[in-house]
Amino acid sequence: MRDQLNIADVIGEYVSLSPAGRGRLKGLCPFHKEKSPSFHVDAEQGYYHCFGCKAGGDVFKFVQEMEHLSFGDALRKLAERAGVQLEQKYGERVSRDLYDVNDFALSYFREHLTGTALAYFQGRGLTDAVIQEFELGYAPGGWDGLLQRARAHGLSERQLLDAGLLTQNEQGRVYDRFRDRVMFPIRDHLGRLVGFGGRVLDDSKPKYLNTPETDAFKKGELLYGLHRARNVLKDGQPLIVAEGYMDVIALQQHGFAGAVASLGTALTAEHATLLERLGARELVLMFDRDEAGLKATLSGLDQTLGARFQVRATSVPSGKDPADALREGDTASIQRALSGGLDESTYRVQAARDRYGLDTRDGKRRILMELLPRMQNLDPLDDGAEKMRTQVCELLDIRPQALLDWIGSKAKRRTLTDTHIAGMSRGGGQEEDRELALLRQLLVDPRLLAKLDGTLGWRNELVRKVMLAAQGAQSTDDIMSVFRGQPEESQLIRLMFENTQSGNISRAGHEEYEAKQQTYAAAAVDDIQVGLSIESLRSEVQLLKSQLLEAPPPQQAGILRQITELQRAIEAEKRARAHGA
């Protein structure tokens, strides 16, 4: 097939070439920016090479790189150009049959776009040219109009069922899946007709109906309008991900050529992989401002974490969807929204703030718990997580180290009480002062360790490390030896010296001073343990239960385990207090 393709003709459709002698041509390289041509094509040998960026290969490699296609897709594209019939595997033949059946259905739907259905699109602000360009149609309201037309043209029920164009009920009767709906043909990124989306003309349910999963139609891998919008990727322009078909059509009609939409779902990992393969550099999520739009945006941000393209989130300032805003002539606000937008971490923080507020400790607790999964990533290369931690500290007025301590402690994450939140504040820290006072006393009298509850979650990082390492210590030296030569050693020595600054007092006075210190240390223990009271644990259980209702299924098992652990802790606290009484 390579012999039947003239590489100069193929490349000439993408690059302006001029003769360069001895069967060679040259032009500006399409794979990098340059002012002087360094891209050469050898028409006789069938290869190309750029002396600037070193790109090179044969005609198949060129189409692969220019169109961001797999080798198989590039081969099929060039075979069609050369008029070569490729031998197809069974799965490929099935898909080809589905495309042909869908093409037949499209002709039927377009033929019936008249009257009320046509007026619907015109009323939504679409021009006749755009209606034709996007191949919009209408499925009549009868039960078997498409089926009867297909039979008359030699198509079988099985072919239409396999394409998702018919539905079969429990009694075995088959009928048209799409009835009395305006129709949107759905093509994959290569332009192949894989299915349809249909919308009712009134308020009946379901409002939208798509082709079911078939060998050609994979909803989680498709983006409506991508076969047209992908052209903007060559110029490095962003793709705009909107919510609905009409949003995409309206945006493209008004010059926003990079508009696409998912098919009634949020973005998926498969979408992100496809967009990376197509060379996307930036994605702008433009969903509605309602609860569904918020969830779709957050889910989209989740699925694109780690992708090789930048992601921003925005919405129409008026709160309307893009199609309605554009129909009312509000193009300027759409442009401003697309020019701005928020990066991933900023959007998450602002969304949590708007949802829970800053006026109560409970609101702050919910903000921290919602953002925790993203803040937990301490990879220094994850700029988004680091930026989020900084933003949360500023928003909630808490100390960066206190936030890191909380993130790093499973016990603290399970029991984020009002006391904990107060202790994390920049103006707080009284709880940590008590912990340090207790640590000072332990350095003098390690026997106090026996009085402590080993399950306590310590706020101060130094105290936490010492408490973990000091279990079983009989003397101060036992504690100090654990940290010999480590940064903590100098901190502990400083605390020990602070502990002896009682001044020049008599022996009796010194004994009185030590007695007061012991009393203060004991009070510190009581104070800290109050922070883990039954009521605090119950409050945390209620918070987790509310999160459980909104959590996706993969996260629910983990939340249930946390609730069970907390309930066990509550029962243990009850038994301990009853025994103490």
Per-residue pLDDT at 515: 59
> Alpha-carbon distance 185 to 193, whole Å?
7
568: region left, alpha or beta (phi > 0 left; psi from -120 to 50 alpha): alpha
Mutual angle of helices 344-356 and 291-303, in 10-degree steps: 150
Residue 486 to residues 110, 462, 480, Cα–Cα distance (Å): 77, 12, 10
pLDDT tens sequence across 264-273: 778 998 999 8
**For the chain, what are the domain ranges?**
2-82, 91-217, 347-424, 430-531, 535-580
Mutual angle of helices 145-152 and 90-111, in 10-degree steps: 120
> Alpha-carbon distance 288 to 504, whole Å?
71
156, amino acid identity: S
CATH topology for 2-82 is DNA Primase; Chain A (3.90.580)
Neighbours of 242 (CB within 10 A): 27
Per-residue pLDDT at 450: 72
Per-residue pLDDT at 548: 79
> Alpha-carbon distance 535 to 569, whole Å?
12
Residue 116 to residues 119, 122, 199, 201, Cα–Cα distance (Å): 5, 10, 13, 9
On whether the CB atoms of residues 406 and 413 are closer than 8 A, the answer is yes
Neighbours of 419 (CB within 10 A): 21
181-187 and 193-200 strand pairing: antiparallel
Closest Cα to residue 168, out of 179, 176, 156, 178?
176
> Alpha-carbon distance 368 to 59, whole Å?
54
Closest Cα to residue 519, out of 423, 434, 432, 431?
434
Per-residue pLDDT at 363: 92
Residue 249 to residues 16, 40, 135, 217, 323, Cα–Cα distance (Å): 31, 39, 11, 21, 8
Task: Scan for tokens 């590039």, then name that residue.
Answer: 74
Per-residue pLDDT at 87: 63
Neighbours of 576 (CB within 10 A): 11
> Alpha-carbon distance 480 to 137, whole Å?
80
On whether the CB atoms of residues 360 and 346 are closer than 8 A, the answer is no
pLDDT tens sequence across 433-463: 667 777 887 887 777 777 676 556 666 777 8
Assign domain 91-217 to its CATH architecture.
Alpha-Beta Complex (3.90)
Task: Scan for tokens 């309930």, then name that residue.
Answer: 567
Per-residue pLDDT of the chain (581 residues; tens, 9 = 90+): 777 889 999 999 889 999 988 889 999 998 888 889 999 999 888 999 999 888 899 999 999 888 777 787 888 888 888 877 766 553 444 455 889 999 999 999 999 999 999 999 999 999 999 999 999 999 999 999 999 999 999 999 999 999 999 999 888 899 999 999 999 999 999 899 999 999 999 888 889 999 999 989 999 999 999 999 998 988 889 999 999 999 999 999 999 999 999 997 789 989 998 998 888 999 999 998 888 899 999 999 999 988 889 999 999 988 889 999 999 999 999 999 999 899 999 999 999 999 999 888 889 999 999 999 999 988 877 889 999 999 999 999 898 888 888 888 776 667 787 767 777 877 555 556 667 777 887 887 777 777 676 556 666 777 878 888 777 778 888 888 888 877 778 778 877 775 544 444 344 444 554 555 555 555 555 555 544 456 567 767 777 877 777 778 888 888 888 888 888 887 777 666 555 54
| Structure token digits, residue 45 | 């040998």
Per-residue pLDDT at 518: 57
Task: Scan for tokens 């050693």, then name that residue.
Answer: 489
> Alpha-carbon distance 474 to 527, whole Å?
25
H helices present in 42-198, as ranges: 59-67, 71-82, 90-111, 115-123, 128-133, 145-152, 157-162
Task: Scan for tokens 């049959």, then name that residue.
Answer: 97
Per-residue pLDDT at 502: 41
22: region left, alpha or beta (phi > 0 left; psi from -120 to 50 alpha): left
Closest Cα to residue 297, out of 360, 237, 225, 352?
352
Closest Cα to residue 192, out of 165, 163, 212?
163
Rounded to a whole number, what is the largest CA-CA distance in the chain?
113
On whether the CB atoms of residues 130 and 249 are closer than 8 A, the answer is yes
